[in-house]
């Protein structure tokens, strides 16, 4: 059966693509949404619908906010088994306070890590997280789920399966398979250049589906390749080969000490209390130094290490909005005196390649056209996978129908769930976000339930309606779910108008693109879904009479 | 003109250039020439279109480089190529006659008499 190289590539492409395509579909679709995660955050949290803010003053805004922070009760309870004895009432010894923002963030994320007395692993810290309005330091409730950055984005890289980092491994393995699928796809495709622009929607179903599969795969091939590859590069360093923390634990400690000696940035507390010089002055000095090197001077990340200790230091990192490479250009100051300890040196050649590759994927840059082109690339990838599923089913369903096999039917129902069902689930969480009361306790959890609930319903619906596939016909769930997408998308836009008063005429005339963009994209999606549904209905109407007469031949 | 306006204009020009380039490349292929004009081009005409197509893509690259840092510009260019190839492919499948505008000097073949 596999007597030629091309045939074995085809086997690999078909089966690996079919099995892991379900995961890749999620990675591509939610990846495309994550390009605008901060904008979706603003759509879903009306209280944050204002302009992006720069890093606020430490003395006026950040310090009081940090001092108010403590780990949640859940975090303290989770820590209990890893401590000898009891957890203290209040955690005072600060390992680090840090604040993070981007050029698209109106709100500021705060992180606080505390030393845990008597922890079984003395290196382990307990963390508190918070979000504030940087204009006045007002705390935003953690119950307000940031749907873009806290849900769609984790769906993209881990499917939100946090248990033993399982999601990271599944998504990473799928990325590896994606690379194999691209290579095998190129080998299988005999006419890459001759059929580069080819899409023949009027040809037989199998041909037109394959055309679209090839077209969306080939024209965005560099995008598909580099995103699967750079995704793996990012994962490899963090999750797959953290040798420093596993096999080489002792060496890791030694390395940390040597690094501390080299950089002058203390690894441990001195145990001697010390004051804090003006952090605002240190930030201004850092910006002056970046300016001198002709680099945009916005602060992206501010870290205070060993707060209140003589070994404390303050690190200021740049928000790298003006280039692809993900660079911090960190500048470090002694906390007690404000004197400069160190400026991060320029990266080595290998380091620069790595910065470029990670930056290419993580997109901290300020370039709206490139962001939209990334969305296009992601959606092209999603279409490529979806047409792959359809081709798989179309190719087999008549044969399976004759043999009485349910294979094509099952794959088709799963494909409906992964393609239209996933879009429905994403719309479900947005609609729930607008319907649930603002002050509902655990609001974010209910939004998550709405997402998974909608998806489960889509799965059940796809399964219940799949019987025609076993007779070699099309599953009506495809067009029905397309109609549902159109309705939910329009519904989400309408609910946004009703609950916040931000209708499109208002957001467009005010030039408030984050909210207007999400609304416009929803309406665009609704239009495409409705057109697809109409086309599928027409196809079914044409196919119907012929199918109806078929039993007479048997 | 403000700097951001200038960037927007240059990037629009890059997009237009990439679309024209991809269109010319497509028209230099016999299958697509047939779709657009109902006839194939002479080898010389096809070769000219191929060169024009390649130049269109290169001009797009130059325009991208004029706007952004080289690392950024290269990504913008690659993605612009993908977008324009998709645009041309969909134009060919639904409105092939639109592409006649890219090469107005080519004479449209007379519709063949119905048999």
ipTM of predicted assembly, 2 dp: 0.91
A378: three-class secondary structure by DSSP:
helix
Pick among A197, A220, A365, A387 to test the B interface (most B CBs inside 10 A): A197
Helix H or strand E encompassing A233: helix A221-235
Q: Between B72, B82, B94, which is nearest A219 by CB?
A: B82
- What H or E segment, with its residue span, contains residue A44? helix A37-44
CB of B29 less than 8 A from some CB of A = yes
Sign of the dihedral defined by the CA atoms of residues A375, A377, A381, A383, in that order: positive
**CA–centroid distance for A51 within its chain:** 22
- Give exposure, A260-289, as e/b (b: 16+ Cβ within 10 Å): eeebebbbebeeeebebbebeebbeebbeb
* DSSP 8-state code for residue A365: S
Among candidates A194, A200, A374 on the partner chain, residue whose Cβ is nearest the Cβ of B93: A200
A356–chain B nearest CA distance, Å? 8
Contact B79 A376 (CB under 8 A): yes
Domain that holds residue B73: 7-101
**Which residues of chain A make contact with B93, given a CB cutoff of 8 A?**
199-201
pLDDT score of A127: 92
Cβ–Cβ gap B76/A369 under 8 Å: yes
Inter-CA distances, B35 with A112, B16, B48, B99, B110, Å: 64, 22, 19, 10, 13
Say if B106 falls within a structural domain. no
Token pair listed for B5 = 């306006």
Residues 6 or more apart whose Cβ sits within 8 Å of residue B110: none
* Opening angle at CA B14, ends B9 and B19, nearest 5: 125
Alpha-carbon gap, residue A393 to A415, rounded angstroms? 9
- Tell me which residue has tokens 């820590």: A79
Whether B18 is covered by a domain: the verdict is yes
How many whole angstroms separate alpha carbon B92 and alpha carbon B98?
8
Mean pLDDT by 10 residues, chain A (554 residues): 79 91 94 95 92 92 93 89 87 92 92 90 88 91 88 92 87 93 90 87 85 94 94 82 61 74 83 92 93 83 93 90 81 93 86 86 89 96 94 88 88 94 97 93 93 97 92 91 97 96 92 94 97 91 56 40
B-chain residues within 8 Å CB-CB of A222? 78, 82
Residues 6+ apart with CB under 8 A from A218: A189, A192, A196
Question: A341 by DSSP, 3-state: which?
Answer: strand
Please report where in the chains the tokens 């499917």 appear, as a residue.
A159
Task: Say how many domains are in chain B.
Answer: 1
Interface mutation target, options A369, A381, A382, A383, chain B, most CBs of B under 10 Å: A369
Q: Which residues of B touch A513 (CB under 8 A)?
A: none
Cα dihedral B60, B62, B68, B71, rounded to 10, equals: 90
By three-state DSSP, how is residue A204 classified?
coil
Closest-CA residue in chain A for B74? A324
Chain B partners of A373 at a C-beta cutoff of 8 Å? 76, 79-80, 82-83
Q: What is the pLDDT of residue A226?
A: 94
**Angle of the A205-219 helix axis to the A368-403 helix axis, nearest 10:** 150
Task: Please tell me the pTM assigned to this model.
Answer: 0.90
Specify the pLDDT at position A389.
93
- B80 part of a folded domain: yes
Q: What is the spatial distance between Cα A26 and Cα A152, in angstroms, rounded to a whole number?
A: 10
Nearest CA-CA distance, residue B66 and chain A, Å: 14
Quick check: B72 and A360 CB within 8 A?
A: no
DSSP per-residue codes, chain B: --HHHHHHHHHHHHHHHHHHHHHHHHHTSHHHHHHHHSSPPPHHHHHHHHHHHHHHHHHHHHHHHHHS-HHHHHHHHHHHHHHHHHHHHHHHHH-GGGGGGG-TTSPPPPPPPP-
Instruction: Tell me phi and psi for residue A397, to 5 degrees.
Output: -65, -35
| Chain A CB contacts of B32 below 8 Å | 197
How high is the pLDDT of residue A204?
A: 79
Distances, alpha carbon B104 to alpha carbons A215, A234, B13, B36, B98, in Å: 27, 49, 20, 12, 11
pLDDT of residue A148: 93
* Sheet strand arrangement including A331-334: A139-140, A125-132, A108-115, A94-100, A299-305, A313-318, A331-334, A340-343
Residue B12 lies in a domain: yes
Please tell me which of the candidates B68, B72, B89 has its beta carbon nearest to residue A215: B89
CB neighbour list of residue B89: distance below 8 Å, 6 or more residues apart = A196, A197, A198, A199, A215, A219, B26
Answer yes or no: are the C-beta atoms of B89 and A383 closer than 8 Å. no
- B82 to A197: CB separation less than 8 angstroms, yes or no: no
B57 touches chain A (CB under 8 A): no
Cβ(B90)–Cβ(A199) under 8 Å?
Answer: yes
pLDDT in the model for residue A546: 47
Please indicate, yes or no, if residue B41 is contained in any of the structural domains: yes
Is B80's Cβ below 8 Å from some Cβ in A? yes
Enumerate the residues of chain B whose CB falls inside 8 A of the CB of residue A322.
69
Q: Do B93 and A219 touch (CB under 8 A)?
A: no
- Which residues, including other chains, have CB under 8 Å from residue A115's CB and lie 6 or more apart? A91, A93, A94, A95, A125
CA of A411, closest CA in chain B: separation in Å? 28
- Note whether B73 contacts A: Cβ–Cβ < 8 A: no
Does some domain include residue B115? no
Residue B4 contacts A, CB cutoff 8 Å? no
Task: Report whether A282 contacts A314 (CB < 8 A).
Answer: yes
Q: Is residue B42 part of a domain?
A: yes
**The pLDDT of residue A142:** 79
Residue of A nearest to B94 (CA): A201
Chain A touched by B89 (CB under 8 Å): yes
What distance lies between CA A516 and its chain's CA centroid?
21
Residue A343 phi, psi (nearest 5): -115, 130
> With bands split at pLDDT 50, 70 and 90, how would you rate the model's confidence at B49?
very high
> Any chain A CB within 8 A of the CB of B98?
no
Question: What six digits make up the tokens of B8?
Answer: 């927007």
- Confirm or reject contact between B61 and chain A (CB < 8 A): no
**CB of B86 within 8 Å of any CB in chain A?**
yes
Say what the pLDDT of residue A550 is.
42
- Count residue pairs from A and B with Cβ separation < 8 A: 74
Q: Would you put residue B40 in left (φ > 0), alpha (ψ -120 to 50) or beta?
A: beta
SS (H, E, C) A238-301: HHHCCHHHCCCHHHHHHHHHHHHHHHCCCCCCCCCECCCCCHHHHHHHHHHHHHHCCCCCCEEE
Q: Are B99 and B92 in contact (CB under 8 A)?
A: yes
d(CA B115, CA B111): 12
Residue from B83, B88, B90, B98 whose CB has the most chain A CBs within 10 Å, to mutate = B83
List of chain B residues whose C-beta atoms are within 8 Å of the C-beta of residue A220: 82
- Cβ contact (<8 Å) for B11 and A369? yes
Q: Are A376 and B31 an interchain contact pair (Cβ–Cβ within 8 Å)?
A: no
The H or E element spanning position A91 is none
The reply to whether B2 falls in a domain is no
Give the DSSP per-residue string, A94-158: EEEEEEE--TT-SSEEEEEEEE-TTBSSTT-EEEEEEEE-TTT-PEEPTTS--IIIIIIHHHHHH
pLDDT at position A547 is 44
Question: Which chain B residue lies closest to A375 (C-alpha atoms)?
Answer: B79
Report phi then psi at A315, rounded to 5: -110, 135
Please provide the distance, in angstroms rounded to a whole number, between the alpha carbons at the two ends of chain B: 59
């Amino acid at each position: 059966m596999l007597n030629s190289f091309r045939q074995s590539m085809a086997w690999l492409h078909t089966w690996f693509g079919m099995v892991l395509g379900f995961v890749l579909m999620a990675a591509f679709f939610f990846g495309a949404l994550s390009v605008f995660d901060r904008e979706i955050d603003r759509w879903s949290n009306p209280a944050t619908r204002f302009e992006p803010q720069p890093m606020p003053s430490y003395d006026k805004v950040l310090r009081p906010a940090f001092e108010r922070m403590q780990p949640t009760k859940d975090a303290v309870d989770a820590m209990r088994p890893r401590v000898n004895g009891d957890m203290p009432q209040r955690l005072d010894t600060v390992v680090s306070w840090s604040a993070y923002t981007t050029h698209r963030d109106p709100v500021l994320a705060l992180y606080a890590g505390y030393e845990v007395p008597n922890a079984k692993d003395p290196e382990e810290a307990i963390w508190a997280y918070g979000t504030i309005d940087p204009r006045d330091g007002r705390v935003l409730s953690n119950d307000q789920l940031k749907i873009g950055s806290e849900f769609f984005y984790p769906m993209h890289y881990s499917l939100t399966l946090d248990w033993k980092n399982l999601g990271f491994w599944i998504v990473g393995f799928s990325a590896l398979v994606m690379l194999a699928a691209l290579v095998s796809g190129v080998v299988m495709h005999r006419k890459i250049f001759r059929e580069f622009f080819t899409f023949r929607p009027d040809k037989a179903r199998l041909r037109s589906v394959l055309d679209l599969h090839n077209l969306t795969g080939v024209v965005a091939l560099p995008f598909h390749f580099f995103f699967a590859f750079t995704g793996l590069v990012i994962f490899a360093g963090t999750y797959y080969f953290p040798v420093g923390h596993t096999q080489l634990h002792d060496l890791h400690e030694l390395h940390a000490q040597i690094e501390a000696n080299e950089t002058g940035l203390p690894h441990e507390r001195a145990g001697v209390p010390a004051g804090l010089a003006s952090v605002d002055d240190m930030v201004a000095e850092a910006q002056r130094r970046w300016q001198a090197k002709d680099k945009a001077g916005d602060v992206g990340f501010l870290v205070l290490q060993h707060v209140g200790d003589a070994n404390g230091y303050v690190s200021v990192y740049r928000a790298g909005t003006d280039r692809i490479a993900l660079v911090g250009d960190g500048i470090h100051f002694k906390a007690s005196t404000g004197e400069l300890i160190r400026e991060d040196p320029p990266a080595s050649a290998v380091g620069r390649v790595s910065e470029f590759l990670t930056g290419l994927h993580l997109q901290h840059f300020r370039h709206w056209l490139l962001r939209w082109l990334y969305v296009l690339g992601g959606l092209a990838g999603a279409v490529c996978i979806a047409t792959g599923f359809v081709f798989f089913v179309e190719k087999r369903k008549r044969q399976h129908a004759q043999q009485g096999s349910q294979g094509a039917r099952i794959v088709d129902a799963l494909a409906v769930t992964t393609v239209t069902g996933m879009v429905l689930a994403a719309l479900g969480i947005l609609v729930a976000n607008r319907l649930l009361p603002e002050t509902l306790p655990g609001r974010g959890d209910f939004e998550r339930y709405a997402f998974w609930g909608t998806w489960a319903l889509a799965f059940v619906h796809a399964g219940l309606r799949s019987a025609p596939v076993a007779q070699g016909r099309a599953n009506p769930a495809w067009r029905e779910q397309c109609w549902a997408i159109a309705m939910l998308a329009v519904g989400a836009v309408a609910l946004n108008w009703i609950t916040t008063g931000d209708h499109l005429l208002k957001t467009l005339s005010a030039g408030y693109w984050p909210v207007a963009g999400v609304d416009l994209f929803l309406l665009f999606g609704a239009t495409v879904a409705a057109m697809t549904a109409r086309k599928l209905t027409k196809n079914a109407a044409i196919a119907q009479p012929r199918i109806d007469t078929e039993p007479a031949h048997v | 003109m403000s700097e951001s306006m200038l960037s927007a204009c240059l990037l629009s020009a890059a997009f237009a250039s990439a679309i024209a380039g991809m269109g010319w490349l497509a028209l230099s292929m016999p299958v697509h020439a047939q779709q657009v004009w109902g006839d194939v081009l002479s080898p010389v005409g096809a070769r000219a279109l191929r060169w024009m197509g390649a130049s269109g893509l290169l001009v797009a690259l130059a325009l991208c480089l004029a706007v952004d840092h080289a690392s950024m510009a290269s990504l913008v260019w690659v993605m612009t190529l993908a977008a324009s190839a998709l645009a041309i492919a969909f134009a060919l499948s639904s409105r092939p006659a639109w592409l006649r505008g890219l090469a107005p000097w080519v004479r449209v073949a007379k519709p063949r008499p119905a048999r």
